[in-house]
Amino acid sequence: MLKGKTALVTGSTSGIGLGIATALARQGAHIVLNGFGDVEAPRAQVLEAGKAAGIKVGYHGADMSKASEIEDMMKYAAAEFGRVDILVNNAGIQHVAKMEEFPVEKWDAIIAINLSSAFHTTRLALPAMQQANWGRIINVASVHGLVGSAQKSAYVAAKHGIVGLTKVTALENASTGVTCNAICPGWVLTPLVQKQVDAKAAAQGISNDEATKQLLGEKEPSMQFTTPEELGELAVFFCSPAGNNVRGVAWNMDGGWAAQ
Ligand code: NAD
């Protein structure tokens, strides 16, 4: 379905970004990976998913907290792949602390990586999408783009911000073939959440299993994690012809979290 298109997924060396990149590759899209850590295993996973379509996989290690590196990454994608047809703004970090104890540098980093980076990639990707009259921008927000949780001030502010940015991007392009939507996951068992499970287990002297049950039980009525694969399929839907007129939505996959 996406043969010939190119998707750039920020923060795709792990977790949800890798799940989305893999699902888009399976549909035949060339992929530009980004993120820290090991690149070879993610690259191999994505190449394997797109093997039947003979996709190309690129990588750029831009730090999403730095506008100049984001500019380099967008130039690299245009030079190597022609243009970015599908932009998935996914890179994100978390820090958990009460507001009066929240480190200022963590606040700045979360706003830069989880919110401002999407402004930069989007402003740089839009002209070519508009010229082609086709584009998909998918912002990985969070259920925390819709509701708050204590001790997550920067994260909740950034995620509410990216839901707002999604609506403005959708509206400014509403009469074109460029759509913008947000995905709002509840708990997904990735390294970002594993750290929170480990912290809970350590703080209360309980097992990892018990901490996981508590974590889900506090917020998620389904008592189950959403998976990167499921989120990947939602991204595929936004890219499908059926998604042509889905504009500016914040679609939660959260096991009922925000329905309460
Ligand atoms: P993860 O830690 O598994 O992956 C994060 C990715 O972002 C990695 O590839 C990492 O290298 C990359 N990254 C981090 N800082 C970066 C930077 N400065 N520049 C470039 N890349 C950077 O996390 P995840 O759980 O897959 O989270 C992905 C997105 O999903 C985040 O935006 C997160 O807020 C959102 N999200 C996660 C959950 C969850 O439960 N895991 C729920 C809702 C939303």
Report the atom number in ligand 1 closest to the C-alpha of 188.
40
- Distance CA(7)–CA(138), nearest Å, equals 10
CATH for 6-187+226-253 (3.30.70.1400, 1.10.10.10, 3.40.605.10, 3.40.50.720): 3.40.50.720
Contact status, residue 37 vs residue 14, Cβ threshold 8 Å: yes
- Distance CA(70)–CA(128), nearest Å, equals 16
Q: What is the mean pLDDT of the chain?
A: 97
Q: Is any atom of ligand 1 closer than 6 Å to the C-beta of 188? A: yes
pLDDT digits (tens, 9 = 90+) for 76-95: 999 999 999 999 999 999 99
Where in the chain does DSSP place strands (E)? 6-9, 30-34, 57-60, 86-89, 135-140, 178-185, 250-253
Q: Compute CA 101 distance to the chain's CA centroid, rounded to the nearest angstrom.
A: 27
- Average confidence (pLDDT) over 248-258: 98
**Would you call 76 a catalytic residue per the annotation?**
no
- Average confidence (pLDDT) over 5-11: 98
Neighbours of 49 (CB within 10 A): 22
Separation of CA 68 and ligand 1 centre (Å): 20
- How confident is residue 188, by pLDDT bands cut at 50, 70 and 90? very high
Separation of CA 226 and ligand 1 centre (Å): 15
Which residue out of 59, 81, 107, 155 is catalytically annotated? 155
Which residues contact residue 70 at a Cβ distance below 8 angstroms, ignoring those fewer than 6 apart?
62, 64, 117, 120, 121, 124
Separation of CA 131 and ligand 1 centre (Å): 30
* Radius of gyration in angstroms for the set of CA atoms belonging to the chain, rounded to a whole number: 18
Separation of CA 231 and ligand 1 centre (Å): 13
- Average confidence (pLDDT) over 8-30: 98
Q: Is the pLDDT score of 246 beyond 90?
A: yes
Q: Is any atom of ligand 1 closer than 6 Å to the C-beta of 65? A: yes
Q: In this structure, what are the phi and psi dihedrals at residue 137, rounded to the nearest 5 degrees?
A: -115, 125
pLDDT digits (tens, 9 = 90+) for 228-245: 999 999 999 999 999 999
Q: Is the pLDDT score of 192 beyond 90?
A: no
pLDDT of residue 171: 99
Q: Is the pLDDT score of 45 beyond 90?
A: yes
Q: Is the pLDDT score of 146 beyond 90?
A: yes
Q: Is any atom of ligand 1 closer than 6 Å to the C-beta of 37? A: yes
* Domain boundaries along the sequence of the chain: 6-187+226-253, 189-225
